[in-house]
């Protein structure tokens, strides 16, 4: 995190924006108090949804799970004997 005064932001705004785009948070101080936080906006990936895998944001890919083998028992929707008294 970079902390800068109002005077520093006026003199170096383009460089500080580039640092924010690169992932650095820039905090602007007024009277030694933080008043503004400049940070990059995450790309929306063209409107595509994302999910987090191992701490990394990745786009959702249609059909990504087609190779997974899913097995449902033939009686998966039959009533369970333990719950017969509730039915």
32 is a domain residue: yes
Of 11 and 79, the one with more pLDDT: 11
Q: Give a yes or no: residue 33 inside a domain.
A: yes
Alpha-carbon distance of 28 to 34, in angstroms, equals 6
Does 29 reside within a domain? Answer: yes
pLDDT at 11 over 60: yes
At 17, which CATH number? 3.40.1620
Mean pLDDT confidence for 33-61? 77
Residue 57 lies in a domain: no
Band of pLDDT at residue 58, cut at 50, 70 and 90? confident
The pTM (predicted TM-score) of the whole model is 0.48
* Residue 84 domain flag: no
pLDDT bracket for residue 7 (50, 70, 90): very high
CA–CA dist 87, 33 (Å, integer): 64
Based on the structure, what is the number of domains in the chain?
Answer: 1
Residue 58 Cα distances to 20, 51, 61, 69, angstroms: 21, 6, 9, 23
- Structural domain boundaries enclosing 35: 1-40
């Amino acid at each position: 995190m970079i902390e800068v005064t109002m005077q520093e932001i006026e003199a170096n705004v383009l460089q500080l924006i580039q640092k924010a785009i690169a992932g650095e948070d820039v905090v602007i101080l007024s009277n030694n108090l933080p008043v503004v936080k400049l940070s990059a906006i995450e790309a929306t990936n063209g409107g595509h949804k994302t999910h987090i895998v191992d701490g990394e944001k990745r786009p959702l890919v249609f059909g990504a799970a087609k190779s997974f083998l899913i097995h449902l028992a033939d009686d998966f929707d039959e009533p369970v004997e333990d719950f017969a008294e509730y039915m």
